[in-house]
Structure 1
């Protein structure tokens, strides 16, 4: 017997539709690669622009399943691409510009990207890539006409704002199978060439729900979220999806990831939650100590991508009053796999014992099933001593690599 619940598919565009309807005036603040004042918009405006983008993509011949690439920082335009591309049934392929040039050529050709959207910062790189990427038939600079170069070797180069200006914000999002591919990331943490991890609408939404849990990111409509982790790194760990899901104010730092620029944004926008890798936070910690400076609003951060050194965790906690949540994951898990937060019975432990728990990568979150096995496939105890092969499965865990 089946339940009598509506079979509404879990689709990414529904997140932005929800945010536009119920959190329409909530801000999206973005620092732009071309400089100038902060760009301010709202979820309602982002939804309109994503629908204009959907019209433009359709006019340019993008069809369901086609891959559309981005070489971009964390900005409002990149956020719109997350939704405009996936919302029409195409695949948003976020490219990590920090890969070797040969790897970039490989993944663009392997993905068979049709269009490539890029920030002004990456214009020289795009011009260098173009002769090696025959599948890319349109190059779009993520800026307005004032910053479009008068001469470029890129075929059919146009700017993003001109592309959107030609369209109306009335695109009607289609409904399709929730298992439809939505986004593509290539992981370099592998042997041989980078391997593509192909996410689905369903996996992305379930991951966004999981990341929103109190013992994970724990963000709500009263939070201001600033993802330092790049949007080209495993979808910024899901923050561009969980922010509209929960109605969070979203602050996107662009290319300015130096400590002074980040601190200025944290303070001016009253950021409460952030996420990034340890190297960023060590630089920020040194900057805070030199002032000395203090955060007026920041309360919580996720640290992942590499093990969080105990000294970093203790310094942010004791000196700056910021809770660090140590997390582990990988591209193949969307990426969240474990998060370290204290359970009720651990609150009674002495402080050194509590701190030891916090320095570990934590416990498995709902939606992830994890096991350690020996060479014969026999389960090993989760005792902090045994080690073997790691097996992971779940609704937002990759079953295979793309292609």
Structure 2
């Protein structure tokens, strides 16, 4: 018989309470600056934040909420929202961050599917719930986050205020012991191809993810940084940055719901922000505003961007004009989310131009592989395109309430992405598997075409889908939303592709629409576009 000799180290559980306790005890006076929807500034610190989180957690217990209860939040990036998330998971509950940009019917679905016991809603989002709260099947209380003097909030019958919930007699409250495998946070996928699916993050996975992303080769966060998380907390915990910030005790600036380029630039300069995270659309608007207004942002050293492919011109413009590193990241709700980071080390300077075009390398503890359509592994030589799979301690193994595992028998999760992996581990994601266009037996990347056409000066936004073609099987179609007061012809749009890609990859047709259908995360709903246009031109012939 083989005997296992165990180490003699502490078996202390890795929980989110460890994160907040560290910040509260060892970074007491480091500021957390928050803005509400009215633009009002609130200055706090990690010490006060920790005490208030405990107070809310204690109060939830006193009001009958118990370990395992799921409690929803519908709030922007504010200190009040962050306090709630830590407080809920702190007593053993599960914080369910809800995206206010969802359609009301989708919110009803995920609240009922999650079986939320209560919902905390920012006063600015009250209208979302007023006409649909009667459809919630498990919600016992709705708490308003915000001042009582809010005119709309004051008129709400059946709603309570979060400040009325809070007890003042929790002086001796100690965070309870929680198993690190217990669920701490529930997030739902965007549901572009069906109902959203729930992903439950454990305390352990959150702490591991926070530790991973702080490392120098990834987000390289430290207590010396001032961090501006623009990505909302309802998008996979603001990419884990709010947890990482408490782990290192960094200064935080929480912008609320005002993410206009003007406001973000003002916050960056006012608070000497050094690091920020956001989707490419946000950074494109920031760069444009900086150019038009001739403004500098000298404190900003690095911006991280993901959610969609980061164009090379954006990375180059940040570096050349502002001396800022724009770093592409990739992740999914199912990966906590960070999985790839394209942060180049100094010894790769001679290769940087080539590396810019790649999505990134895996963060620590994440493994990636590439397979052909039959599921056989493909050599990592950056020549063959295949399905990308991932596994690791911060990767899902089963969706909430689903019986079957969503990984194979070795723990690999199919990302749904198509790409290539080189011998150094750099991964290039070319498209989602369902969005690739197969024309005459050859694959065309819709993402590559979108990156090109979105640079057209008259195009506000665009999506590219495959449509049915009698000769080639499928051909690319551009669905374009033109800038306000601009006019563009089909020929003008198609000509823009010339000399940028191979001739056979250039789309055949363009459809102009007033507004692209978007998901709650701001991505074009290609399934709706395909439903509408896939066979349209076959029928017209």
Q: TM-score, normalised by structure 2?
A: 0.71
1:129 and 2:132 matched: yes
Find the aligned partners of 2:56 and 2:183 in 1 and give their Cα distance: 19
Q: How does 1:356-375 map to 2 (within 5 A)?
A: 356-375=354-373
Partner of 1:110: 113
Name the SS of the counterpart of 2:283 in structure 1. helix
2:320 is the counterpart of 1:318: yes
What residue in structure 2 maps to residue 17 of structure 1? 21
RMSD value, Cα: 1.4
How far off its partner does 1:320 sit? 1.2
Question: In structure 1, which of residues 270, 280, 283 is the aligned counterpart of residue 282 of structure 2?
Answer: 280
Equivalence map 1:4-403=2 (5 Å): 4-36=8-40, 38-147=41-150, 149-153=153-157, 155=158, 157-164=159-166, 166-347=168-349, 349=350, 353-403=351-401
Report the Cα offset of residue 248 of structure 1. 0.5
In 2, Cα distance between the equivalents of 1:117 and 1:311? 41
Name whichever of 161-170 and 257-266 sits farther off.
161-170
Contact 2:186/2:201 (8 A) holds in 1: yes
Distance in 2, Cα, partners of 1:344 & 1:300: 16
- What is the distance in 2 between the residues matched to 1:118 and 1:385? 49
Q: 1:306 deviation in Å?
A: 0.5
Rounded Cα–Cα distance in structure 1 between residues aligned with 2:49 and 2:250: 14
- CA-CA distance at 1:166 after TM superposition: 4.5
Q: Secondary structure at the match of 2:149?
A: helix
Alpha carbons 2:58, 2:91 under 8 Å: kept = no
Distance 2:346 2:263 in 1: 37
Q: Where do 5+ consecutive residues of structure 2 fail to align? A: 402-541
State the secondary structure of the residue aligned to 2:328: strand
What does the per-residue CA deviation read over 1:3-37, in whole Å, with 9 as the maximum and x for residues that have no partner?
A: 0000000010110100010001001100012443x
Distance 1:169 1:385 in 2: 62
Kindly indicate whether the alpha-carbon contact (under 8 Å) linking 1:144 and 1:160 is maintained by their aligned counterparts in 2: no
Output the CA distance in 1 between the equivalents of 2:68 and 2:38.
31
| Alpha-carbon distance between aligned partners in 1 of 2:394 and 2:29, rounded to the nearest angstrom | 31
CA distance in 1: counterparts of 2:279 and 2:396, whole angstroms: 23
Q: Residues 185-242 of structure 1, C-alpha deviation per residue, up to 9 Å, x if partnerless?
A: 0001553100001000000000000000101110101100010000110110001100
Structure 1 spans left out of the alignment, 5+ residues: none
CA distance in 2, matches of 1:159, 1:102: 25
- In our comparison, the structure showing a higher alpha carbon Rg is 2
Aligned length: 396
Structure 1 length-normalised TM: 0.95
Q: Residues of 1 paired with 2:216 and 2:356: CA distance?
A: 16
Counterparts of 2:287 and 2:265 in 1: how far apart (Å)?
10
For residues 252 and 113 of structure 1, the distance between their equivalents in structure 2, rounded to whole angstroms, comes to 26
C-alpha distance in 2, partners of 1:385/1:204? 35
Q: Distance in 2 between matches of 1:170 and 1:35?
A: 35
Query: 1:230 touches 1:236 (CA, 8 Å); kept in 2?
Result: yes
Match of 2:488 in 1: none
Q: What is the CA deviation profile of residues 249-292 of structure 1, one whole-angstrom value per residue up to 9, with x for unaligned ones?
A: 01100011001111111011110000010000011111100120
Q: Equivalent residue of 1:113, what SS?
A: coil
How far apart, CA to CA, are the structure 1 residues paired with 2:169 and 2:131?
30
**2-structure distance, mates of 1:55, 1:229:** 29
Larger helix proportion of the pair: 1
**Structure with more contact order per residue of length (Cα contacts < 8 Å, sep ≥ 6):** 1
* Partner SS state of residue 402, structure 1: coil
Does the C-alpha gap of structure 1 residues 190 and 389 become closer, same or farther in structure 2, counting only changes over 3 Å?
Answer: farther
Is contact 1:48-1:170 (8 Å) kept? no
Query: Which 10-residue stretch deviates more, 336-345 or 310-319?
Result: 336-345
